[in-house]
Chains A and B, each alone.
Chain A
Amino acid sequence: MAQTETRKRGKARPTSNQALTKEELLAGYRDMLLIRRFEEKAGQLYGMGLIGGFCHLYIGQEAVVVGIQMALDEGDEIITSYRDHGHMLACGMEARGVMAELTGREGGYSRGKGGSMHMFSREKNFFGGHGIVGAQVSLGAGLAFSNWYRRNDRVAVTYFGDGASNQGQVYESFNLAALMKLPCIFVIENNKYGMGTSVERATASHDLSQNGAPWGIKGMKVDGMDLEAVHAAAEVAVAACRAGEGPYLLEVETYRYRGHSMSDPAKYRTRDEVQKMRTEHDAIESVRHKLEALGVDEQGFKAIDDEVKAIVTDAAEFAQTSPEPDPSQLWTDILLEG
């Protein structure tokens, strides 16, 4: 049962920078809400001891992946770090399979062998889910390389955080992508903190969107709490990449409401700071207000709420009833035949 469908309307839009239609806003609202409710449920299951290890929640950053996904077409590749649940849901992977991976069950996307940080879907062109900070940036350049090699018009979206933006291989990848004009959209999700270290304390660069400038990579700073702004920026970047202009860098300023991982008390920032973002800049609330102005009533929102809640409840149920992987799975998937 397909519970989340891929939203693709990149090519349907005649021009960039225009506001989203009511239908698009509704779809975006629904996708963002699904991510938030999914993550809240994941946090709850973690608290119950059903999810182990590291678990990095995406709450607060939903507009980033949803806005960018709306500008992509089927076949475009996506790769990200370990804060990956939102990306998977945004690209149409099933909530059940993601949640069951979090609980380490057979029904998970990696059959319970990857966990929160390591999930993949060939079908949806989602290439993970990577646990080493910055490693996915070179891999993402490689996804773009394969498009360049095959002379197709796909683009590869490579997400990483402000923390990863200090890794050396990021700049090696910028250089390679710019040299070869690879169709790669580098997206820095700047949520202000690399674990507990603020971006000001970690990065001498004051404008991450210009970090590709020495290689001639065009960069744009985007308000990541505004779905329409993210979408509009992504359309520009996608168009440039598809036109063969080479890589594009988006610095999307966003905010995570929860700690770095479940075990992070987040004492490096004040409760007021978090509260201010939640009450004044929440991306989901902001889209909701726009939809209210466009005439969506309580009943309309409730229908979306109910749909999302049903998906998340079903996913949580599946994640708890799917069996643990059989011990024989220990010895599979190490090498392919040959």
Chain B
Amino acid sequence: MGVQILMPALSPTMTEGKLSRWLKKAGDEVKAGDVIAEIETDKATMEVEAVDEGVIAAILVPEGTEGVAVNTPIAELAGDNAAAAAPAPAAAPAAAPATVASLPPSLVPTPVIAEKEWGETKPITVREALRDAMAAEMRRDPDVFLLGEEVAQYQGAYKISQGLLDEFGERRIIDTPITEHGFTGMAVGAAMNGLRPIVEFMTFNFAMQAIDQIINSAAKTLYMSGGQMGCPIVFRGPNGAASRVAAQHSQCYASWYAHCPGLKVVAPWSSADAKGLLRAAIRDPNPIIFLENEILYGQTFDCPTNEDFILPIGKAKIERAGSDVTIVAFSIMVGVALKAAEALAAQGISAEVINLRTIRPLDIDTIVASVKKTNRIVTVEEGWPTAGIGAEINMQVIEHCFDWLDAPPVRVAGLDVPLPYAANLEKLCLPQPDWVVDAVKKIV
């Protein structure tokens, strides 16, 4: 019996085409791979190769015919092998045999970390908190290692990794050449193979060299592999404006990364945030963007001394309770918000300050509960306003509790310009406590 040769689709979008030329005629023998016809699509003329072997019994669509729909029979093939290789009609999906892709047992789920009272504290710098977090997790898990520029012998460009080389050796504290794209890809590959890298970017500005590996490889592969290929990795380093380093070295990447499913984005403010969240990030089985701030590195905050201290990712913290307005901030802007709250208190306005801690997933529940109490919201961020974190939070507030709002949501953000070098101009660009005070007073 014969088998029909169908009009093929030759591009992702082709629905019909012109059968411009037959290179075989009835009676000709064809072998797999022989060019049998030429077809014109809207873009190009393509050759059609035979898949089956046999003798052409009949040409069903003559050459020169236009508008031949995909899957129309165009010729008939006779041959003993043809029947076996006949293209089956596209069957409607039916109940299937067992699937072949089984899930690996190796991806150990991490227990949910609860927020609780940790007791005794002592003052440490954010810098020390970050180092202590890495050291604690490296002692706990031999698969955790740190790599980046100047992290080992130089002890860290910002001295975050001070002392780690001595304790853990050069196989686990690894100096890389200045090749963000390459070493980020290498770390992502190591994570796919089950290790738990911490990648230190000297600043997040340089991670733009590597953003393809972060988004396309680290964030998307779990999904594209149907859950087989996880990527437990932490990308960390200073983010946002430092001081007088101008536009290329002063940018907040929170909204860039928060845009992408497959990533978690964490932004600590205090020493406790830094230590507790970095430990959680290192244990997390997903790719984490951990946005630090250079100006905060030297600041001192009380931090729990408990050896097991850890904080949950995805949970915001109310740093100051209040009743008249909710101020939401992250990273260094939490300090700005707290100063504003103090100034507002002196003027009789009670502000509640929320430290986001995690930007993705956003703890919208904590924000909404606060807004339902205060009926007003002001967001504060250092980054640009357009498509920023404030835009996202305020939109979600509108979605979740529009009826509780007594005033339009307000965002305070960095000015919509590349950050200038001159001291006076730079200061004019970055949110100050009085910007927040003014914003609040417009709606209270």
Residues of A within 8 A of B (CB): 40-41, 43-50, 52-54, 59, 77, 79, 94, 96-97, 100, 105-114, 118-123, 127-132, 135, 137-143, 145-146, 149, 168-169, 171-173, 175-176, 179, 257-259, 262-263, 265, 267, 271, 278, 309, 313, 316-318, 320-324, 332-338
Chain B residues lying within 8 Å of A336, measured Cβ to Cβ, are 107, 109, 222, 230, 285-286
B386 adjacent to chain A (CB < 8 Å): no
* Contact indicator A333/B222 (Cβ below 8 Å): yes
Q: Which of B41, B94, B107, B195 contacts A146 (CB 8 A)?
A: B195
Chain A residues lying within 8 Å of B182, measured Cβ to Cβ, are 138, 141, 169, 171-173, 175-176
Chain A residues lying within 8 Å of B32, measured Cβ to Cβ, are 40
In the complex formed, the residue of B with least CB distance to A333 is: B227
Query: With A and B bound together, what is the CA distance between A257 and B10 in angstroms?
Result: 16
Given contacts A110-B228, A321-B94, A334-B223, contact A48 B71 (CB under 8 A): yes
B29 adjacent to chain A (CB < 8 Å): no
* Contact indicator B51/A43 (Cβ below 8 Å): yes
Chain A residues lying within 8 Å of B71, measured Cβ to Cβ, are 48-49
* Contact indicator B101/A109 (Cβ below 8 Å): yes
- Given A59-B33, A109-B101, 12 more A-B residue pairs with CB atoms under 8 Å apart are A48-B70, A48-B87, A49-B9, A114-B226, A127-B193, A142-B186, A142-B191, A172-B179, A263-B46, A265-B44, A309-B85, A334-B222
* Contact indicator A337/B6 (Cβ below 8 Å): no
List, sorted by A's number, 9 A–B pairs whose CB atoms are closer than 8 Å.
A48-B8, A53-B12, A146-B195, A172-B182, A175-B179, A320-B88, A320-B91, A338-B111, A338-B283
Report how many A-B pairs have Cβ atoms within 8 Å.
263
Chain A residues lying within 8 Å of B261, measured Cβ to Cβ, are 334
* Contact indicator A109/B262 (Cβ below 8 Å): no
Chain A residues lying within 8 Å of B286, measured Cβ to Cβ, are 335-336, 338
Given contacts A113-B224, A324-B93, contact A123 B192 (CB under 8 A): no
Residues of B within 8 A of A (CB): 6-12, 14, 32-33, 35, 41, 43-49, 51, 70-71, 84-85, 87-88, 90-91, 93-97, 99-102, 104, 106-107, 109-112, 145, 171, 176-177, 179, 181-195, 212-213, 216-217, 221-230, 261-262, 264, 283-286
* Contact indicator B226/A338 (Cβ below 8 Å): no
Chain B residues lying within 8 Å of A122, measured Cβ to Cβ, are 104, 106, 228-229
- The interface centre, meaning the residue of B101, B223, B230, B264 with most chain A CB atoms within 10 A of its CB, is B101
Shortest distance between the CB of B253 and any CB in chain A (Å) = 20
* Contact indicator A172/B193 (Cβ below 8 Å): no
* Contact indicator B181/A169 (Cβ below 8 Å): yes
Closest 7 CB pairs of A and B: A142-B189, A138-B185, A172-B182, A47-B8, A338-B110, A263-B11, A111-B226
Chain A residues lying within 8 Å of B88, measured Cβ to Cβ, are 316-317, 320
Chain A residues lying within 8 Å of B187, measured Cβ to Cβ, are 142, 145
Shortest distance between the CB of B181 and any CB in chain A (Å) = 4
* Contact indicator B100/A97 (Cβ below 8 Å): yes
Chain A residues lying within 8 Å of B194, measured Cβ to Cβ, are 146
Query: With A and B bound together, what is the CA distance between A320 and B89 in angstroms?
Result: 9
* Contact indicator B226/A41 (Cβ below 8 Å): no
Query: With A and B bound together, what is the CA distance between A105 and B93 in angstroms?
Result: 9
Query: With A and B bound together, what is the CA distance between A322 and B191 in angstroms?
Result: 32
Q: Which of A45, A59, A265, A333 contacts B46 (CB 8 A)?
A: A265
Shortest distance between the CB of B47 and any CB in chain A (Å) = 7
Query: With A and B bound together, what is the CA distance between A331 and B266 in angstroms?
Result: 22
Query: With A and B bound together, what is the CA distance between A259 and B191 in angstroms?
Result: 34
In the complex formed, the residue of B with least CB distance to A174 is: B182
Given contacts A107-B100, A128-B221, contact A262 B10 (CB under 8 A): yes
Given contacts A130-B217, A175-B177, contact A146 B224 (CB under 8 A): no
Query: With A and B bound together, what is the CA distance between A120 and B104 in angstroms?
Result: 12
Chain B residues lying within 8 Å of A48, measured Cβ to Cβ, are 6, 8-9, 70-71, 87, 90
In the complex formed, the residue of B with least CB distance to A108 is: B101
* Contact indicator A146/B12 (Cβ below 8 Å): no
* Contact indicator A46/B189 (Cβ below 8 Å): no
Shortest distance between the CB of B183 and any CB in chain A (Å) = 6
